[in-house]
Amino acid sequence: MESGKKLFSLMTLCLILGLSSGFYFGTKLGGSGKKVEINNQKADCPTETSDAGQKTLALQKLDLLKSYTDFVLLPKEKIADPVKYAEDMGELVKSINSEEITAKYYATGETEGKEQKIVDFLDYLSESLKADLR
């Protein structure tokens, strides 16, 4: 009975080590080389309520936040068509129709202080969403 528990523990430990090392080395070596197709579904809100415009705007901001976060965090080679993906985000920014969001979004494309501008854009977008949800 005791040897059965030890064998089970050893097998479990080997399984955990195998999975974790496979995950670690798989991500470090570029994984399987598959490209990720990210299709963000645009949220549709019914237009019967007076809050529909605010709901649609909040959902668009949330879609933009998700899309931009994916774009920044995923390696460019994992996105099937990065140029189209960026163009789609640009269209979403235009549809939100906010001068502040537009300015901060396009500022992230500049090379000087790029990381800080990305952080500022994500912070502004999340704060804007929080305000919309209140």
Residue 17 lies in a domain: yes
**Residue 102 domain-assigned?**
yes
CA-to-CA separations, 49 to 42, 52, 54, 97, in angstroms, rounded = 19, 5, 10, 21
- pLDDT tens digits, 101-130: 999 999 888 888 888 888 898 889 988 888
For residue 121, the number of C-alpha atoms closer than 13 Å in the C-beta half-sphere is 28
Confidence (pLDDT) at 114? 84
Give a yes or no: residue 66 inside a domain. Answer: yes
Pair (63, 99) in one structural domain: yes
Q: 101 and 125 in contact (C-beta within 8 Å)?
A: yes
Higher pLDDT, 62 or 1: 62
Q: What is the pLDDT of residues 12-38, one digit of tens each?
A: 655 565 655 565 555 555 555 555 555
Same domain, 73 and 125: yes
Domain extent at residue 76? 52-133
Domain count, the chain: 2
- Does pLDDT of 4 surpass 70? no
Q: Would you say residue 67 lies in a domain?
A: yes
pTM above 0.85, yes or no: no
* Higher per-residue pLDDT: 100 or 19: 100
Query: Do residues 110 and 75 both lie within one domain?
Result: yes
> Could you tell me if 83 and 122 lie in one domain?
yes
Task: For the chain, give the mean pLDDT.
Answer: 75
Does residue 39 belong to any structural domain of this protein?
A: no
